[in-house]
Structure 1
Amino acid sequence: MSPLRENRIDLVRGISLLLIFVDHAGVSFSEALQQSRGFSDAAELFVMMAGMSAALAYHPATGRADFVTVAARTLARSFKLYRIHLTLLLVLATAVFVLPLPNRDALVSNWSLRPLAEDPTRFAMEVLLLRYLPAELDILPLYIVLIPTVPLWFALIGRSPRLAVAASTLLWLAAGFFHLDPTDFSQPKGVWYFNPFSWQIVFLVGILAGLRVRQGLVPFPYRRWLFLAALAFCAIAVPANLLSHFGGHATEGPLRSLVSKTSEGPLRLINALAVVYVVFNLDALKRIDPKGWLGPVFAAGRNSLPVFVTGTILSDVVAASVIGSGGLGLPLEVMLVVLGITIQLALAFRLDRRKRRSATVPNRSLLVASSGDRDYDWQQPSVLNPMSDAARDPAT
């Protein structure tokens, strides 16, 4: 079977990026928007698409991946994300402590920066060790840990996909039951908000789906009964989550562990799987033209890392405006959110155009495996289009 061109990875990543921006902006409707997507949210989609992209970028179309080569490339990618994470934190801390911001104390408290202000020497070291992740800068560290595991998953999957799933499930269960989680001094519970030992199962699902695409198969095979069940779960999850969250039940009793974001509770995981299954089996989404009116969103998914960094900075600016002013009116909040989304889409569109102009790769109908970056053809059907971050930047 000939490989499929899976543009929906870019679409889902692009939408997820914009939703994450609104979630982190801290405007009056951020929480309601986040909770209106069911038990899971954009984070699961983002991590799953990263797994799919990693499979497409690092695994050859035939045969087994070379462990040493993949390990070297993923470690290099992880270190790049580490540098970007430190840069973002440095920029934010400098802005908060140096600029004449109104209501600075509220910002310091909101972003858990007080420990850094009171003991900069100690917590600067904790920052370097990823044991202090303030200001909601906790997504990139998750990728910093997950990306180097790609060659290990490839090796396990090469022996048996079921073995990989079993190992991932056991690790997920152990992390949830025994509270295995790295330290984060910025969190009230003292652990990472995104527990990598739990979230690795979302990442693995993406890797397995990506390997199917790599082999020219559909990522999630269609079964009518499963599609209807997933669709029903997604529909029911929205009002159920809104009721439980705003009714205060999500933080009480057994439901708390079922919807835990830190340990990727079972309801969150099932909901995320249901959403992705529906998305990748909707005929309407298969027919969307990536060069059409949703082109900028596809472009955001193809240029996910720079768009993510830009969105992080913009969301912090909006949040600082909200906190510093004691609250903005709804019209101004909407205007700032729309402006932030427009800036991100414009950046993605510009980066896409620049990459297209600089592309000098000969036309090829299939994705070409090599020891370095792979060649893609923008025009011909292929596993991935050539501008995609998934080819070179699979982490986000």
Structure 2
Amino acid sequence: MSRQRENRIDLIRGVSLLLIFVDHANVSFSEGLQQSRGFSDAAELFVMMAGMSAALAYHPATGPADLATAASRTLRRVLKLYRLHLTMILCLATAVILAPLPNHPEIVANWSLDVFAGEPGRFLLEALSLRYLPAELDILPLYVVLIASVPLWFALLDRSPWLALTVAAALWLVAGLFRINLTDLAQPRQHWYFNPFCWQLVFVIGLAAGLRLRRGETPFPYRRPLFLAAAAIAIVAIPANLLMHFGANPAEGPLRLLVTKTSEGPLRLINAIAIVYVMFNLDALARLPAEGWLRPLFAAGRNSLPVFVAGTILADLVTVCVIGSGGLSLTTELALVLCGVVLQLALAARLDRRRRKPSGAPAGSLLVASQEDQDYGSRVSPTPTPIPIPTSDAARHSTT
């Protein structure tokens, strides 16, 4: 039986990467685009898909996980992410030191490097311990923590998915209420922008769904009332969030805590779950071909790490152009964003071609969710249970 790949993971990650690039580019429409997706944004979708990918890559299709093997493989991944994070910091720091960026303090401040510029030696050492995370370079450390925790979550998930989700929800609640976080000296409040003790809940939800998918089950089982409720939440959240951020009286105080990104506010979490639930129960998305004109977008999801790095670099370059020039015309901004998107898709397509066999078939396992982590998944289950397509009941709502 041929292997199947859950292409919706690649699609969601590919779209999320492009949206993250635009959000970080600091053009005039970046914030509007980010807030127009509801209370949550691309970060939640990307983290949840990372959880699904981790389950597909590091957990066997049958039986409990070999925790020692999972720990060994996730450790290698963690070290790779850690080295890449430090490399990106070093490159950015070099640009600040060698380029004439100090003449534009607003650019340095935008990257949270104004403190670093005063004491570069000290804060490079702090960066080694992940206690100094420049803005836009604070997402990889989150993945370092989340991927390192995978074996622990596997141990709970193998006992009971509901037990793992309950523990994750309790940790999210306690960390949010008591503001338990890690130190980031680059931030004004000196804590991680993405609180890993809160964001782990988004990741664990993805792990639980990915484990169902790994075993040949539907990751998010269709229920008509849940589907209608999720669709309503995803739609209503868009104007509600725009009003909250751009209305005459933007939300402050307790209401703002419901959508805080640092602690993954409850409205953000509910919104993200609703979006993913709808997307995984739309038959049109399940049947969307990963070839043809959409292939570069799916390829971006399959090669998420190099595309993310490229997108970060391109977003920083656009930021320098926007802030350094004192503002660009909308036409120029659109041109720069379009060029950045095209370059990322071109890179993804090129990487995808290099990974394919001479016969044209994709190399390695097509069941796991990322090319970077395919090695384990391709050897665990040579004949996995086929992934079910949403039932006809779900298909009736495919155009909702």
Gaps of 5+ in 2: 388-400
Encode CA deviations 1:291-324: one digit per residue, 9 max, x unaligned.
Answer: 0221110000000000000000000000011010
2:107–2:324 Cα contact (<8 Å) kept: yes
For 1:325 and 1:260, locate their aligned partners in 2 and report how far apart those are by CA, in whole Å. Answer: 31
Change (3 A) 1:248 1:89: farther
- 2:59 aligns with 59
Describe the shift of the 1:329–1:175 C-alpha distance in structure 2 as closer, same or farther (beyond 3 A). same
Equivalent pair of 1:103/1:324 in contact (CA under 8 Å): no
Match of 1:394 in 2: none
Q: CA deviation at 1:5?
A: 3.0
Partner residue in 2 for 1:154: 154
Structure 1 residue 361 displacement after superposition: 9.2
Rounded Cα–Cα distance in structure 1 between residues aligned with 2:281 and 2:258: 26
1:1-396 matches, within 5 Å, as: 5-101=5-101, 103-247=103-247, 251-357=251-357, 373-375=376-378
CA RMSD of aligned residues (A): 2.6
TM-score by length of 1: 0.91
What percent of counterpart residues are identical?
A: 66
For residue 125 of structure 2, what is the amino acid of its counterpart? M
The aligned length equals: 380
Deviations 1:308-350 (A, max 9, x none): 0000000000001101001110000000000000000000000
Give 1:371 deviation, angstroms: 12
1:135 offset after TM fit, Å? 2.9
Identify the residue that residue 390 of structure 1 maps to in structure 2.
Answer: none
Q: CA deviation at 1:362?
A: 11
User: Structure 1 CA distance, aligned partners of 2:350 and 2:11?
Assistant: 17
Does the 8 Å CA contact 2:5/2:367 hold for their aligned counterparts?
A: no
Shift of 1:246: 1.2
* Structure 2 equivalent of residue 389 of structure 1: none
Please list the CA deviations of residues 86-105 of structure 1 after superposition, one character each: whole Å capped at 9, or x if unmatched: 11111112112212348522
Distance 1:248 1:183 in 2: 34
**Which amino acid in structure 2 is aligned with residue 139 of structure 1?**
I
Within 2, Cα distance between the matches of 1:3 and 1:221? 21
SS at match of 1:373: helix
Q: Could you tell me whether the CA contact under 8 Å between 1:3 and 1:215 is conserved in 2?
A: no
Write the letter of the residue equivalent to 2:291.
Answer: K
Q: 1:216/1:382 Cα in 2 relative to 1: closer, same or farther (>3 Å)?
A: closer
Structure 1 residues 125-179: Cα deviation after superposition (integer angstroms, max 9, x where no partner): 1111111111321110100100011111110011111111111011000011100
Q: CA deviation at 1:372?
A: 5.6
Scaled by the length of structure 2, what TM-score is found?
Answer: 0.90
Q: Is the 8 A contact 1:51 1:206 kept in 2?
A: yes
2:16–2:46 contact (8 Å) kept in structure 1 = yes
Q: 1:183 to 1:14 in 2, by over 3 A?
A: same
Whole-Å Cα distance in 1 between the matches of residues 328 and 364 of structure 2? 52
Query: How far did 1:256 drift?
Result: 1.1
- Structure 1: how far apart are the matches of 2:271 and 2:180? 23
Number of the residue aligned with 2:395? none
Q: 1:234 to 1:364 in 2, by over 3 A?
A: closer
1-structure distance, mates of 2:249, 2:265 = 15
Distance 2:3 2:214 in 1: 7
State the secondary structure of the residue aligned to 2:149: helix
For residues 59-90 of structure 1, the C-alpha deviation after alignment (integer angstroms, 9 at most, x for no partner) is 00101111111001111101110111111111
Q: Which secondary structure does the structure 2 equivalent of 1:194 belong to?
A: coil
Confirm or deny: 8 A CA contact 1:3 1:213 kept in the other structure.
no
Could you tell me whether the CA contact under 8 Å between 1:132 and 1:184 is conserved in 2?
A: yes
1:269: Cα distance to partner?
0.2
Q: Deviations over 1:225-267 (max 9, x none)?
A: 1101000011110000000011275551211110000000000
In structure 2, distance between residues paired with 1:6 and 1:244: 35
| Alpha-carbon distance in 1 for matches of 2:96, 2:364 | 49
- Structure 1 unaligned segments of length 5 or more: list them: 384-396
Instruction: Specify the code of the residue in structure 2 equivalent to 1:215.
Output: R
Amino acid at match of 1:97: I
Structure 1: which amino acid aligns with 2:137?
Answer: L
